[in-house]
Amino acid sequence: MTMTMTQNTAADQATTDPTSWERACEVTDLEPSWGEAALLSMKQIALFLLAPGEVYAVANRDPHTDSNVMARGIVGSKGDRPTLASPLHKEVYDLGTGECFSDPALFLRTYRTRIVGGFIEVALDA
């Protein structure tokens, strides 16, 4: 999902949002349009910085092959929708929704992101 900037302090966030946010890395650790894998709470997550303030997080597991390779996928777009093509069989997914354009039976898990104090945080299931 697309990253959203937050003005709340950590204390404010804890009282208003029951979501478990995990710090992944500094924004400067990511290169635009290149994926990086992160292990957060025993989940492999693929992170993508597409533009300043635009960060996407998806499951690193390829829904078609069950291989943890999505961080090595090919970033692109379909119209105004950012996409990610699997590096193995080239199925194309919407980075925001996880919808697979080439096979409707497949779905890529997406996660909300935010930037707090220069760090990317990912919303994991509580």
Q: Residue 2 above 60 pLDDT?
A: no
Letter for the amino acid at 112? R
Global pTM exceeds 0.95: no
3-state secondary structure of 71: helix
Domains of the chain: 3-124 (2.102.10.10)
Burial of 94 (0-12, 13-18, 19+ CB in 10 A): buried
Contact 114, 4 (CB under 8 A): yes
Looking at residue 73, what is its pLDDT?
A: 97
At 55-100, the pLDDT tens digits run 999 999 999 999 999 999 999 999 999 999 999 999 999 999 999 9
pLDDT above 70 coverage of the chain, percent: 85
Q: Residue 1 above 60 pLDDT?
A: no
Q: Residue 111 above 60 pLDDT?
A: yes
Q: What's the CA gap between 102 and 74, in Å, rounded?
A: 14
Q: Residue 122 above 70 pLDDT?
A: yes
Lowest mean pLDDT among 3-17, 27-41, 49-63: 3-17
